[in-house]
Chains A and B, each alone.
Chain A
Amino acid sequence: MLNATLKQLSLDLARKRISSVELTQLHLDRIARFDPALNAFITVDRERSLAQAQIADKRIAAGTMQPLTGIPVAHKDIFCAKGWLTTCGSKMLANFVSPYDAHVVERLNAAGAVILGKTNMDEFAMGSSTETSFWGPVKNPWDRARVPGGSSGGSAVAVAARLAPVAIGTDTGGSIRQPAALSGICGIKPTYGVVSRYGMIAFASSLDQGGPMAKCAEDLALMLNVMAGFDARDSTSLARPAEDYTQALEAPLQGLRIGVPKEYFSAGLGADVAVAVEAALAQFEKLGAKRVSISLPNTGLSVPAYYVIAPAEASSNLSRFDGVRYGYRAPEYTDLLDMYRKSRAQGFGAEVKRRILIGTYVLSHGYYDAYYLKAQKIRRLIARDFTEAYQQCDLIMGPTSPSVAFEVGAKASDPVQMYLNDIYTVAANLAGLPAMSIPCGFGEGGMPVGLQVVGNYFSEAQMLNAAHQYQRATDWHRRRPAGVD
């Protein structure tokens, strides 16, 4: 049951081998048992989840079920869900009970999925280790002395430790892919605009994109079928015909051209990660794919440009947290300005404040052209690198992260070291391209390694096809950590 795919679970539900209430109960029990040591969840609400499961069971009995009906889904605590505490990992929103649903939440609810709980995350999704949460760090189930990656670390661990059959996360610079890689699961960030950002608490609006995190590519496809879709309330949501992401899963990979960027295999990449990724590429060749050497010459500029653009947008987005309409307000203050300054000083953690300060600086008078405009030009160069590369290949593959999961605290005091961890992931956000991570082996300390697949715009179905074929030939995605049985 714990290793079952969504398709298998859905079949079990349809054939009444298990009810949604039983399936939800099973996972709630696992959370109660294992999560005190992992800290993957911020909020669990048994009654609320079980009530949703009961409704799903009625729907199944009535014969009107859809593929996700009755399936418990763990939601990153960045998605607003009506009546649920939605904290975004911050003291600023520690008491925020959302009065509305995010578009993604609406769609999952409408499909009959069950909200299993809200998962832990880096505060306001700013981090690569899930250590900056107001609710404490999340532990990697493969080795509890290590981080699970971030910022969607809680969702990654919920799936990795089989506390949830599937989860949702968000990715601004790698926050779905990097924790998926470091925790040994799969995750996909769709093309920018495919999944609505409405009700997803904003970090950097031109980069943020929601997506599923799951045990296998087929599960990702089923989730994306529900999560993707036009929403007028997000001005950057794309109006496209609905797509069935499962349709191409079984296509053979004969002739698929896989671009391998030389810049992703240079200094800084761990030898253990390189070995696992090389083996995965060889496996794809065995499946009929062709390997093409490509170059993404501006790769090295992606982290510097990202750490101008993302903080700039964050400083603007987070200006709404002022202690007036919702969220934290300082207990004592002298006047309005003092109330703002104290509420924000006390409500935000160190990393969030750091990014607000960077963003405020690069947008301030006299520095806008030198930093923000410059970064936007570099962003164009990075996007062009990909456009040129896709003339020679269909998909790009390489490592998701330069190393396996590092120890809790190892990079917490050095933001630059933490940021450099995003070297392979931020470019896809800057360019707006779809990108995913799938397990492809183990490295140092027996920790999982992720293979990153970057597709051209709207090529999610092709990426999922490649991942699914790889997963039919290998079993890395079926491995799970010890100690959670």
Chain B
Amino acid sequence: MSLSLQEVKRVAWLARIEITDVEAQAVQGHLNGIFQLIGQMLSVETEGVAPMAHAQDLVQRLREDEVTEADQRALLQSIAPQVEGGLYLVPQVME
């Protein structure tokens, strides 16, 4: 299979990565090479094989519903790109 330039741009949109036409063309070549490699597994018979999501078949651990974290807001926000009044600032999204 191979990805069209349009598909490359759509995936970049979904991934929230800006991409120029020139970049998309270069990426298209690389991705198609990689999907050719990945394609080797597509014809393998896997009927009845249970998908393996994890290295160990684990059961999700539960814990008591208790507060475990101390308030570190000031420390954690000290490394944010833009903060005001204890809030993370981003461009306005609502009128």
Residues of A with Cβ closer than 8 Å to B? 95-97, 99, 192-193, 206-207, 232, 235-236, 238, 300-301, 303-305, 307-308, 315, 319, 322-329, 333-342, 344-345, 348, 353-354, 356-358, 360-361, 364, 370-371, 373-381, 383, 414-416, 419-420, 429-432
Contacts and interface: CB of A to CB of B under 8 A. Distances in A.
B5 interface: no
Contact of A354 (B30, B36, B72, B93): B30
A376 B52 contact: yes
B2 to A, nearest CB: 12
A376 B50 CA distance: 8
- A-B residue pairs, 6 tightest by C-beta: A432-B55, A376-B51, A192-B55, A329-B81, A345-B18, A377-B46
Interface in B57-86: 58, 60-61, 63, 72, 75-82
Contact of A380 (B39, B40, B51): B51
A323 B88 CA distance: 10
Q: Chain A interface mostly helix, strand, loop or mixed?
A: helix
A431 B55 contact: yes
Contacts of B72: 99
Interface residues of B, number: 51
Given A301-B41, A303-B37, A370-B42, A379 B14 contact: no
A326 B80 contact: yes
A63 B85 CA distance: 49
Nearest to B36: A416
A415 B51 CA distance: 27
Contacts of B18: 338, 341-342, 344-345
Contacts of A324: 80-81, 88, 90
Nearest to A330: B18
Which residue, of A95, A96, A416, has the highest number of chain B Cβ atoms within 10 A?
A416
A410 B3 CA distance: 26
22 contacts: A99-B72, A235-B61, A300-B40, A301-B41, A304-B41, A305-B41, A325-B76, A325-B77, A325-B80, A337-B16, A344-B17, A345-B19, A354-B31, A357-B11, A360-B15, A364-B14, A373-B51, A376-B53, A378-B41, A380-B50, A416-B36, A431-B55
A326 B39 CA distance: 37
A358 B34 contact: yes
B88 A379 contact: no
A385 to B, nearest CB: 12
Contacts of A416: 33-34, 36-37
Contact of B90 (A95, A315, A339, A353): A339
Contacts of B37: 303-304, 307, 416, 419-420
Given A301-B41, A308-B38, A336 B90 contact: yes
Contact of A415 (B7, B12, B30): B30
Contact of A236 (B44, B54, B93): B54
B49 interface: yes
Contact of A99 (B15, B51, B75, B91): B75
